[in-house]
Amino acid sequence: MNERANERLRLENDLRRALPLEQLHLVYQPQVELASGRIVGVEALIRWQHPELGLISPVKFIPVAEDTGLVSAIGEWVLHSACAQQRQWQQDYGIALRMAVNLSPVQLQQNDIVSMVNHIVSEVGMNPEYLELEITEGVLMGSDEQVKVDLYKLSLSGIQIALDDFGTGYSSLRYISQLDIHKIKIDRTFIHDLTENSQNASIVSAIVAMAKNLGITLLAEGIETREVAELLARLGCQEGQGYLYDRPLSPEAIERLLEKEAAGQASPT
Ligand code: C2E
Ligand code: MG
Ligand code: MG
């Protein structure tokens, strides 16, 4: 236990310096339209390249960032970098990708979240409709009214709100109807064995029916096989993301995809 406490303390200390020392970077995982396989957006995912410990997963360091309050500064950096990148890609390739950015519940407790997001969007000059903020159900559970008001204000400026990891929390239908949710991301745990697990297939069908009636777009996370992708499309899920299409990629790798896409648009042969 002592060892674990020490490791945690070290992460905490090192994380304080990670941002100024430029050890954090973003990778981007493509999101595709299932029917065509066309890339419609990317999700920005943070990575920490530690000088001694190597690459550290966000699963490990985001909780530390949340406990220490560092997540505010880190989250702001993520948002700024991702938005600037979206704008740059649109300028360079003429392709407007939707940029999905994960928000920590702790960030949403900040009282200036609305002005912070709006400020970044206008500073980088991006169209707010291409920004999608991913929140988890945990954000909504037991949160005060202010969080809901803030999310509503953000959606008024055209920003899209996506509910991440859907199905793993309370999956409260009340929140979905109360809030202006644009997209539901079905958690990977329901998707990975979809073709063999009829119970999960029934759950996904029910989510599809609900989303359709509410006018919410559905995206399936963690698609790893063609069979699962085909089944999802048949069930009526519109979008997907997963290793079948691409792993989270460097900006350079995304640029190669965009080059191809732009060339295809210029000469449709
Ligand atoms: P998430 O937002 O649900 O992101 C999806 C995670 O699933 C990513 O893990 C991604 O690499 C992984 N994934 C995608 N496709 C597949 C697949 O086909 N199979 C499998 N097994 N995994 C797949 P990653 O990048 O390690 O991120 C983990 C979590 O860390 C994210 O889950 C998100 O909750 C959090 N996170 C990442 N970046 C940020 C950030 O900038 N801010 C905040 N607050 N949280 C972040
Ligand atoms: Mg996410
Ligand atoms: Mg997720």
> 198 Cβ partners below 8 Å, 6+ apart?
none
pLDDT band at 158 (very low <50, low <70, confident <90, very high): very high
Which residues have CB less than 5 Å away from ligand 3 (the ion)?
A: 164-165, 221
For 262: left if phi > 0, alpha if psi spans -120 to 50, otherwise beta; the answer is alpha
Inform me whether the pLDDT recorded for 135 exceeds 90. yes
Inform me whether the pLDDT recorded for 34 exceeds 80. yes
pLDDT band at 267 (very low <50, low <70, confident <90, very high): low
Residue listed under structure tokens 């550290």: 56
Count other C-beta atoms under 10 Å from residue 209's C-beta. 12
Query: Using CA atoms, how far apart are residues 46 and 185, in angstroms rounded to an integer?
Result: 19
For 221: left if phi > 0, alpha if psi spans -120 to 50, otherwise beta; the answer is beta
Pairing of strands 54-56, 39-50: antiparallel
Mean pLDDT of the chain: 94
Task: Residue 160: give its domain's CATH number.
Answer: 3.20.20.450
Its domain, for residue 30, covers: 2-266
Looking at the chain, the whole-number percentage of residues with pLDDT higher than 70 is: 98
Helix (H, G, I), strand (E, B) or coil at 141: coil
pLDDT band at 141 (very low <50, low <70, confident <90, very high): confident
Query: What is the average pLDDT across 238-242?
Result: 98
Beta partners for residue 28, in sequence order:
44, 249
240 touches ligand 1 (CB under 6 Å): no
221 CA distance to ligand 3 middle (Å): 6
Query: What is the average pLDDT across 203-217?
Result: 94
Domain count, the chain: 1
Query: Using CA atoms, how far apart are residues 119 and 124, in angstroms rounded to an integer?
Result: 9
Inform me whether the pLDDT recorded for 103 exceeds 90. yes
Inform me whether the pLDDT recorded for 259 exceeds 80. yes
pLDDT at 265: 78
Ligand 1 atom at shortest distance from the alpha carbon of 224: 18
24 touches ligand 1 (CB under 6 Å): no
Most ligand 1 atoms within 8 A of CB, residue of 102, 163, 168 to mutate: 102
pLDDT at 138: 79
Residue bearing the CA closest to ligand 1, atom 12: 222
pLDDT band at 219 (very low <50, low <70, confident <90, very high): very high
pLDDT at 178: 78
Inform me whether the pLDDT recorded for 268 exceeds 60. no
Contact 192, 228 (CB under 8 A): yes
Ligand 1 atom at shortest distance from the alpha carbon of 248: 11
55 touches ligand 1 (CB under 6 Å): no
Model pLDDT for residues 77-91, shown as the tens digit of each residue:
999 999 999 999 999
> 219 Cβ partners below 8 Å, 6+ apart?
31, 162, 183, 184, 185, 186, 237, 238, 239, 240, 241
Model pLDDT for residues 45-60, shown as the tens digit of each residue:
999 999 999 999 999 9
- Lowest mean per-residue pLDDT among 66-75, 166-175, 250-259: 166-175
